[in-house]
Structure 1
Amino acid sequence: MSRWVEERLQSLTLEQKIGQLLVGQAEGTEVSESFRRFIEKIPIAGYRINGPNIEHPGQVKSLTAEIQRIYARLGLDFPVIFACDQEGGVLSVFGDCVSEFPGNMALGAADSVALTERQGQLVGWELSEMGMNHLLAPVADLNLEKQNPVIGVRSFGDDPERVASHCIHFQRGANRGGVAVSAKHFPGHGNTATDTHLGLATNHTEKDVLRRTELVPFQKMVNAGVDSVMVTHVVFSEWGSMPASLSPTVISGLLRHEMGYDGLVITDDLAMGAVRNLVSAGESVLRFIQAGGDIAYMHDGRASIEEAYGRLLEAVRSGELTEERIHLSLRRILRFKQRIATYQHAREKLGTSGTDLARQVAEQSITLLRDPGRLLPVAPDKKLLVVLPQLCNLSEADTSDQQEMKLVTYLKQAYPQVSVVELSLDEAARDGLWQKANEADLILQGTINAYRFPGQIAVMKKLAEIRPLIAIMLRDPYDSELIPFDTTVLATYAVTEQQMATLVRQLQGALTFKGKVPVKLDDHVKRRKEEW
């Protein structure tokens, strides 16, 4: 491996070496002549593939193969990185091109590392079939802030050891399926209330506490030989005032020296507001490399790539950045590229369909938190009112508006009398809602992130005064802390098809509830019982 790396390193021009420090955003669903000329002008390390690049699996495979052929004609005979944010659940950029899974918190609720590993393998296989080779997952963050606007159910939970175990098994599966992974968002994005896509988030937790909590999954993954680590733009005040992605103290000091990681370090998208509001594209990439990073991911188009490329070239020529320093990163990058080629060559297909595996996850994950009124199971002759929130993207790391919630479809197959009302997340009520409630025997109300959208709870309290009500937390389970204690509460963690189909079977009593909430919920709901 070392000889191959050194031979490739010596074969590259300075300009080609600098290109390998960048990953950009692919353009379109096929390689246009304009995009081809750009690739030939600045052959960077690779490209992210997401929504605008995706029509169907065959098209994606053709797109990645054509880009790889362009690099081969340039004499760059090693893999192009094709990266994606296919986490499952609320962040599923490939939509119906791949199997639909409910995401990490559902896996945390199922708490079966065997299921997690199998899901990783199936996801890896499906992605590698399309030429993808770098999965920007798993999320190794502990979700410790219930009002976190961007992590939430993307996390496996809040227990350091449990999250670490799921992350490690997910990597094993994904590697076996044919792709490399990236542990994100180092040193942790789960204890913030700010979305770094929009602005700067700060974590003031003390170092000793961080080492016992948020750093644990990352340290365990480092020890297990994780393929790459993605650094977040969160500021950790214990290590200075700069975003982690630009901080030598965090990257070179904490991750490289203290935690012992000498593998590939990449950034979260440097076009995000947390960084771009502070420094330009070119300066952010230079600072990241100087801080100890390897590949800057920048997903806002050619102009930023050209600016960053030019700034790095200027920095080498002026002496701000040495070629020796670039070689340190190039060796890591080339070793990583050899890894992804090995994973692709040795990949193994899981002997289970995506639908069957998603059903297993659903049956193990959906959680009954409480049923004080003994409303379960629901008899088939009940007249149901179903009140559901309209799906929408809650951050840039969210693809929920592309999902179709099929809960009502499955309910109507099981219950002949179902009436439905949809409300936006901030909608107080709708004409006729109270009348429909009076006409029903039982109300099922879904919630999504009620701490951020508390109007859902106000509606719920009024509905619960009219008829018995079952609350279904369709996303973050923290909603249970706001829901009246004498209400039946369920958690599905996602609205994927198998989660909804399984939930209906559980409502009927055909299946039991096996999941356990993987985050701590405040006990104050018990103390407040008398208020309701």
Structure 2
Amino acid sequence: MTIGPLMIDLKGMTLDPAERELLRHPWVGGVILFSRNYESPEQIAALIDSIHTLRGPRLLVAVDHEGGRVQRFREGFTSLPPVRLLGQIYDRDPPQARRLAAITGWLMAAELRAVGVDFSFAPVLDLDQGVSRVIGDRAFHSEPDAVIALSKAYVRGMAWAGMAAVGKHFPGHGSVAADSHVALPVDERPWQQIRERDLLPFERLISAGLPAIMPAHVRYASVDLLPAGFSPFWLEEVLRGQLGFQGAIISDDLGMAGAAGVGGMSERVRAALSAGCDMALVCNDPHGYAPLLDELEGDHLPGTPARLLRLYGRYPLTRSQLSRNSAWQRAVQAVTAYARF
């Protein structure tokens, strides 16, 4: 059996029989976890183990765990500061900021790998231009060179812990005020400005071997009529062609308002996959998954690209091993210390 091109979420902290059936469907290839799925490290590890035992190859398990406002697991995990703090440190001491970025990426990934999570949707590669509240301090910096330096270190730290990074939100979400969760943002800037600034972090991280990318639910009006996540121009011509990206492309949540203009959920899934996404993310619609899978049943099921298989997590420590690990202890101290300033 292959893993399918859909990633869906769960209602609670354990699997119910209907969810077990859904997760065995050939169109499903992954699960994204949220705060409602979390109670403790022991509980989330048991939930993930129950997901892993459902089928082979096992489903991918992911979470949004950037730090700051976006950290789904809290109690029992290190509280990670927003990465903007690393940008502020970078302005004073670039080598120290790069060192702390690598430590933070490793700590985030190591703690998630210890409970069985394959990958986090991180890091944010957007340039924060001071207009997007939904991005804000989730971005490292406003300048491409700083974002490149810090995100490369952060991704390197994730890789040391056995986790693949997912850069987001291609080609850049930091210059629009609208929140794509509730509206479709439209970026009116010319191609040249996007190319010379926003694309630079993606281009440099791709050159360094970035494993996966999430495109934005943003329409870049001077470039293409379609939002980036549904655009063959952005995903095939620019991302695959011009930038040479060979990793996995995972859509942003197709349940967001920024995706609504494409049609119903099955039309959104088809459009995202046709545009070049390898996996379509659908969240917060537990009653809609069975009808969606029924609608997709007759469609040709794409094979599993090798680039998705490279997102499986590697060599985790157990929670008890991690707590005794001197590198983890030092990382917690370092992150806790800079988070206070």
Q: How does 1:186-335 map to 2 (within 5 A)?
A: 186-316=170-300, 326-327=302-303, 330-334=305-309
Change (3 A) 1:309 1:238: farther
Task: Give yes or no for the alignment of 1:91 onto 2:63.
Answer: no
Which of 151, 154, 170 is equivalent to 2:135?
Answer: 151
Partner of 2:50: 66
Question: Which residue identity is paired with 1:82?
Answer: V
Partners of 1:229 and 1:251 lie apart in 2 by: 10
Q: Structure 1 residue 308: deviation in Å?
A: 4.2
The two structures have a TM-score, normalised by structure 1, of: 0.59
Partner of 1:361: 338
Partners of 2:61 and 2:275 lie apart in 1 by: 24
Question: Which residue identity is paired with 2:152?
Answer: I
Which of 101, 106, 122 is equivalent to 1:116?
Answer: 101
Partners of 1:343 and 1:231 lie apart in 2 by: 28
Q: Structure 1 residue 333: deviation in Å?
A: 1.9
Bigger Rg, structure 1 or 2: 1
Partner of 1:126: 111
Partners of 2:316 and 2:336 lie apart in 1 by: 27
Q: Alignment length, in residue pairs?
A: 330
Partners of 2:315 and 2:80 lie apart in 1 by: 22
Identity of paired residues, percent? 26
* Residues 113 and 313 in structure 2, CA contact (< 8 A), matched pair in contact too: no
Partners of 1:250 and 1:23 lie apart in 2 by: 22
Partners of 1:218 and 1:304 lie apart in 2 by: 34
Per-residue CA deviations over 1:62-83 (Å, capped at 9, x if unaligned) read 0000110111xxxx1x342111
Change (3 A) 1:33 1:311: closer
The two structures have a TM-score, normalised by structure 2, of: 0.90
Partners of 1:54 and 1:40 lie apart in 2 by: 22
Which of 141, 147, 151 is equivalent to 2:126?
Answer: 141
Q: Structure 1 residue 353: deviation in Å?
A: 4.3
* Residues 245 and 251 in structure 1, CA contact (< 8 A), matched pair in contact too: yes
Change (3 A) 1:254 1:310: farther
* Residues 14 and 47 in structure 2, CA contact (< 8 A), matched pair in contact too: yes
Q: Structure 1 residue 360: deviation in Å?
A: 3.3
Alignment RMSD: 2.2
Which of 301, 311, 314 is equivalent to 1:342?
Answer: 314
* Residues 148 and 190 in structure 1, CA contact (< 8 A), matched pair in contact too: yes
Question: 1:289 is paired with a residue of what secondary structure?
Answer: helix
Q: Structure 1 residue 240: deviation in Å?
A: 1.2
Change (3 A) 1:307 1:213: farther
* Residues 38 and 44 in structure 2, CA contact (< 8 A), matched pair in contact too: yes
Partners of 2:269 and 2:81 lie apart in 1 by: 34
Change (3 A) 1:184 1:87: same
Task: Give yes or no for the alignment of 1:81 onto 2:60.
Answer: yes
* Residues 119 and 163 in structure 2, CA contact (< 8 A), matched pair in contact too: yes
Per-residue CA deviations over 1:299-336 (Å, capped at 9, x if unaligned) read 123444344434444343xxxxxx6xx23x533223x2
Change (3 A) 1:306 1:244: farther
Which of 148, 154, 172 is equivalent to 1:164?
Answer: 148
Q: Structure 1 residue 43: deviation in Å?
A: 6.2
Q: How does 1:24-63 map to 2 (within 5 A)?
A: 24-42=8-26, 44-63=28-47
* Residues 164 and 313 in structure 2, CA contact (< 8 A), matched pair in contact too: no
Structure with the larger RCO, 1 or 2 (CA within 8 Å, 6+ apart) = 2
Gaps of 5+ in 2: 91-96
Gaps of 5+ in 1: 1-11, 317-322, 363-498, 503-532
